[in-house]
Structure 1
Amino acid sequence: MTAYAIGNLHPKPVLDEEVFTYMERIQATLDPFGGRFLVHGAPAREVREGTWPGALVIIGFPAYENARAWYDSEPYQALIPLRTRHMTGDVLLVEGVPEGYEAAATAARLRAAVARP
Structure 2
Amino acid sequence: MKAYWIAHVDVTHPVQYAEYTQRGPAAFARYGGKFLARGGRAEALEGRKTPQRTVIIEFESYEQALACYHSAEYQEAMSHRHGVAQAEIVIVEGFEG
Mapped to 1, the partners of 2:34 and 2:21 lie a distance apart of: 13
Query: Greater helix percent: which structure?
Result: 1
SS at match of 2:63: helix
Q: Which residue of structure 2 lines up, in the alignment, with residue 62 of structure 1?
A: 60
**Aligned 8 A contact 1:42 1:57 in 2:** no
CA distance in 2, matches of 1:58, 1:83: 17
Q: Equivalent of 2:49, from 49, 52, 56? A: 52
Kept in 1, the 8 Å contact 2:35–2:57? The answer is yes
Corresponding residue for residue 15 of structure 1: 14
8 Å CA contact 2:44–2:50 kept in 1: the answer is no
Give unpaired runs (5+ residues) of structure 2.
Answer: none
The runs of at least 4 consecutive aligned structure 1 residues that moved more than 4 Å come to none
**Would you say 1:32 and 2:22 are equivalent positions?**
no
Quote the sequence identity (%): 34
Aligned CA RMSD, in angstroms, stands at 1.6
- Aligned-pair distance for 1:25? 1.7
SS of the equivalent of 1:16 reads helix
State the AA in 2 paired with 1:25: R
Q: Look up the SS of the partner of 2:26 in the other structure.
A: helix
Question: What SS does the aligned partner of 1:28 have?
Answer: helix
- TM (normalized to structure 2)? 0.86
Which residue is 1:115 aligned to?
Answer: none
Q: CA deviation at 1:26?
A: 1.5
Measure the CA separation in 2 of the matches of 1:85 and 1:28. 21
Paired residue total:
96
CA distance in 2, matches of 1:68, 1:2: 12
2-structure distance, mates of 1:91, 1:50: 16
How far 1:50 moved relative to its partner?
Answer: 4.1
Greater Rg over alpha carbons, structure: 1
